[in-house]
Amino acid sequence: MSAHTDHAHTAAAPHDHAHCVADALTRADALCAERGARLTILRRRVLELVWSSHRPRGAYAILEDLSQQDGKATAPLTVYRALEFLVDQGLVHRIESLNAYVGCAAPGASHSGQFLVCEGCGDAAEIDDPSIRSAIDAAATVRGFRVQRPTVEVRGVCKDCQEKHP
Amino acid sequence: MSAHTDHAHTAAAPHDHAHCVADALTRADALCAERGARLTILRRRVLELVWSSHRPRGAYAILEDLSQQDGKATAPLTVYRALEFLVDQGLVHRIESLNAYVGCAAPGASHSGQFLVCEGCGDAAEIDDPSIRSAIDAAATVRGFRVQRPTVEVRGVCKDCQEKHP
DNA sequence: GCTCATGATGTTATTTTATAACATTTCTAA
DNA sequence: TTAGAAATGTTATAAAATAACATCATGAGC
Ligand SMILES: [Zn+2]
Ligand SMILES: [Zn+2]
Ligand SMILES: [Zn+2]
Ligand SMILES: [Zn+2]
């Protein structure tokens, strides 16, 4: 069995993050190839920067990284367009309540877009809980509402932060 | 029994909206009095403007209304501060995915903050579905996450809009 | 190889949304 | 009435996102 287990990595838990990012990029390469979507150099760089931490990152933070790497100013649109592509491909999620973006832990699989957002450390743990999804679907169906994109963002305090500040 | 029934009004369904707004203001008066919170003239006016439709409204739209009523420019902060108060009191909800605000249909009661947001008509129907809430609580508990404020915003198409564009 | 249509990126300017810092006014309770 | 606190006014700025248009890259078809 691989050293990389299935359990989700977090910003807090120490782990081989380079591997983590490399995995994400490899998955993205495979998925885009499979779909005929063009994961260009720029988009791939932006994806890598989104993954640079396990925390949600703002578009302008990514913009700064990009500008610094290139030694010249990059325009916001450059980043926003790349992010739009990545979100459309399901490689990145946008956290609405933070105006920020985070790499998807399981692209390809169904994305319900559920996050536990910690007020303490800023971590946004992606979960995919079928019972939340089915409860939403049921509530929508009863009201004749056709679901396109359910968003669940739960603000609170993660386990680690609770232990640190009891 | 009152002419006003319990079922939720929507922007689409014709109804006595003046009554609708008056009710919201009366409820707000009562709640704030009960809590010793100060629903000042300004805050009450902003609440009324939030309720001016059943659709989410942006802070700057409310700002324009306010400026027009007074015949002079109002500063954004004026509106944002009032909105902050109203959100804190649970009289208004912020729809994160729209950067907009909508009157709460049932202030005082527990607010889980669940919305069905229609892409067609812009309506944001507030629901309070216990099974969604308990599914979220269960998922959080399993992960040791302490829930403070769950946000559910479901994008899709409402019943009316589906019937209009089949 | 060329050629053109399409998609991607560059460039400049602007819009939309939200907050900071500090002054003044209003309310409340002692 | 008179602090002290809360609310509002004022001015300036920050943060997030998009519009409009030009240029460049890519790849299918010839
Ligand atoms: Zn990692
Ligand atoms: Zn935390
Ligand atoms: Zn109404
Ligand atoms: Zn609709």
Tens-digit pLDDT profile for residues A153-162: 999 999 999 9
Strand D lies under 7 A from the Cβ of residue B69:
no
Question: What is the rounded average pLDDT for all residues in chain B?
Answer: 92
* CB < 8 Å to B129, chain A: 135-136, 139
Give residue A92's pLDDT band: very low, low, confident or very high (50, 70, 90).
very high
Give residue B113's pLDDT band: very low, low, confident or very high (50, 70, 90).
confident
Smallest CA–CA distance from A124 into chain B, residue? B145
Q: What are phi and psi of B103, to 5 degrees?
A: -65, 140
Question: What is the rounded average pLDDT for all residues in chain A?
Answer: 92
What is the C-alpha to C-alpha distance for residues A56 and A101, in angstroms, rounded to an integer?
Answer: 5
Residue B77 has pLDDT above 90, yes or no: yes
Closest-lying nucleotide for B84 based on CA to C1': C18
Sheet of B114-118: strands edge to edge?
A: A124-127, A114-118, A146-157, B146-157, B114-118, B124-127
Give residue B164's pLDDT band: very low, low, confident or very high (50, 70, 90).
confident
Q: What is the per-residue pLDDT for A28?
A: 97
**Nearest CB to B135; choose among A135, A148, A158:** A135
Give percent above pLDDT 90 in chain A: 82
**Nearest CB to A116; choose among B96, B114, B145:** B145
Residue B4 has pLDDT above 50, yes or no: no
Helix (H) or strand (E) holding A145: none
Smallest CA–CA distance from A144 into chain B, residue? B159
> Are residues B136 and A154, on separate chains, in Cβ contact within 8 Å?
yes
Strand D lies under 7 A from the Cβ of residue A128:
no
Which bound ligand lies closest to the C-alpha atom of B51? 3
Mapped onto helix, strand or coil, the DSSP state of residue B41 is: helix
> Are residues A157 and B150, on separate chains, in Cβ contact within 8 Å?
no
Give residue A7's pLDDT band: very low, low, confident or very high (50, 70, 90).
low
Residue A110 has pLDDT above 50, yes or no: yes
Exposure of A15 in the CB half-sphere (CA atoms within 13 A): 17
Which of A151, A159, A160, A163 is best to mutate for the B interface (most B CBs within 10 A)?
A151
d(CA A9, ligand 2 centre) in Å: 13
Buried residues in B49-66 as b, exposed as e (16+ CB within 10 A)? bbbebbbbbebebbbebb
- Indicate which CATH number applies to the domain containing B135: 1.10.10.10
What is the C-alpha to C-alpha distance for residues B103 and B53, in angstroms, rounded to an integer?
Answer: 9
Residue B63 has pLDDT above 90, yes or no: yes
Q: What is the pLDDT of residues A30-49, one digit of tens each?
A: 999 999 999 999 999 999 99
**Look-up: residue for tokens 């994806």?**
A47
What is the C-alpha to C-alpha distance for residues A61 and B136, in angstroms, rounded to an integer?
Answer: 30
Chain D nucleotides with an atom closer than 7 Å to a protein C-beta: 6-12, 15-20
Q: What is the per-residue pLDDT for B7?
A: 59
Q: Whole-prediction pTM value?
A: 0.92
Tell me chain B's radius of gyration from C-alpha atoms: 17
Q: Is the dihedral of CA A162, B130, A92, A1 positive or negative?
A: positive
Give the residue from B96, B98, B70, B66 showing the smallest Cα distance to B81.
B66
Measured in whole angstroms, how far is the alpha carbon of residue A20 from the centre of its chain? 13
Total of domains in chain A: 1
Six-digit token string for A159: 């386990």
Give residue A112's pLDDT band: very low, low, confident or very high (50, 70, 90).
confident
Closest-lying nucleotide for A40 based on CA to C1': C8
Strand D lies under 7 A from the Cβ of residue A150:
no
Q: Does the CB of B29 have a partner CB in chain A at under 8 Å?
A: no
Residue A59 has pLDDT above 90, yes or no: yes
Q: How far is CA B130 from CA A165, B55, B109, in A?
A: 30, 23, 13
* CB < 8 Å to A156, chain B: 140, 145-149
Strand C lies under 7 A from the Cβ of residue A1:
no
**Domain hosting residue A25, numbered range:** 5-164
Q: Write the single-letter amino acid at B163.
A: E
Strand C lies under 7 A from the Cβ of residue B135:
no
Whether the CB-CB separation of A31 and A91 falls below 8 Å is answered with: yes
> Are residues A129 and B139, on separate chains, in Cβ contact within 8 Å?
yes
